[in-house]
Amino acid sequence: MIFAGVDVGSMSAEAVLFDGEKILAHSTIVVKPNPLQSATIVMDTVLAESGLTYDDVTYCVSTGYGRERIPFAQHDVSEISCHGKGAVWAIPSIKTVIDIGGQDSKVIRVDANGDMDDFVMNDKCAAGTGRFLEGIAKTFHLHVSDLGVLALNGTDPAPINSICTVFANFDVMCMLAEGQTKENIAYGVSNVLARRIFGLVSKVGLVEDVCITGGVAKNQGVVRSLEDIMEVPIQKLPVDSQIVGALGAALFACQRYENLQEKNKAEAN
């Protein structure tokens, strides 16, 4: 049996195929303006890679901000629950999941089953999200994925005071004009984002083990800053951090299908 999870976020969309025990395939794309289009493309891609069709999928769960408008999904679950589920499947000892996404950051406290005990999300502000980093990368004429390496090469983090995405960019431009190195600015940017995230972590309380999911988890500069501020190690995921939401959705698809089967069996008896 094949279970699918599809996660349409604000910046990227992911799909995961799961057979009840292992990940069969996964795919990631940059989102289109229309969430349904993104979901269809990323699903088409992952199915084509595995030589499968929509008919082969037993049950599909959608998540992410476009989750309610995906016609091939039988059910939708919030991305908060999905990141918790996916992370604990990947590392069973995880208790705290930090997901830094494109427009939302969240800290999720999970139990041993990966079910959510508590969560907090960012306020109505892009500070502390992937958008923040993307804006800074643009100012440097770099791709956002290059920002982490740049930050790791910084030695003396530039002091960035503004926590506003727009004004931090302005700060950065002024610093460049004053002759600060890109490396130190990137280091400073990582620290600002990490402090913002640490504020959220403190709200739910820090319980080890901790991992980071979402696209920003790939930014080694942010990971270093977060470890420095939290003073605990961040566990390295054995799967691509960006697919954890879609993986969680696929796990919920599997769980929900099994529950429905049991319910049907009980009713038949």
Q: Give the interface with other proteins as residue ranges (CB under 8 A).
A: 65, 68, 77-81, 104, 111, 115-119, 121, 123-124
Q: How far is the CB of 225 from other proteins (least distance, A)?
A: 25
Q: How far is the CB of 113 from other proteins (least distance, A)?
A: 8
Give the chain's length.
Answer: 269
Q: How far apart are CA 247 and CA 73, in angstroms?
A: 14
From the list 2, 5, 68, 56, the residue with the least C-alpha distance to 252 is 5
Do the beta carbons of residue 42 and residue 27 sit within 8 Å? yes
Q: How far is the CB of 221 from other proteins (least distance, A)?
A: 27
Q: How far apart are CA 264 and CA 259, in angstroms?
A: 9
The smaller minimum CB distance to other proteins, of residues 142 and 206, is found at: 206
The smaller minimum CB distance to other proteins, of residues 46 and 244, is found at: 244
The smaller minimum CB distance to other proteins, of residues 19 and 117, is found at: 117
Pairing of strands 105-110, 12-18: unpaired
The smaller minimum CB distance to other proteins, of residues 6 and 158, is found at: 6
Q: How far is the CB of 90 from other proteins (least distance, A)?
A: 19
Q: How far is the CB of 1 from other proteins (least distance, A)?
A: 24
| 148 three-class SS | helix
The smaller minimum CB distance to other proteins, of residues 109 and 224, is found at: 109
Q: How far apart are CA 210 and CA 219, in angstroms?
A: 16
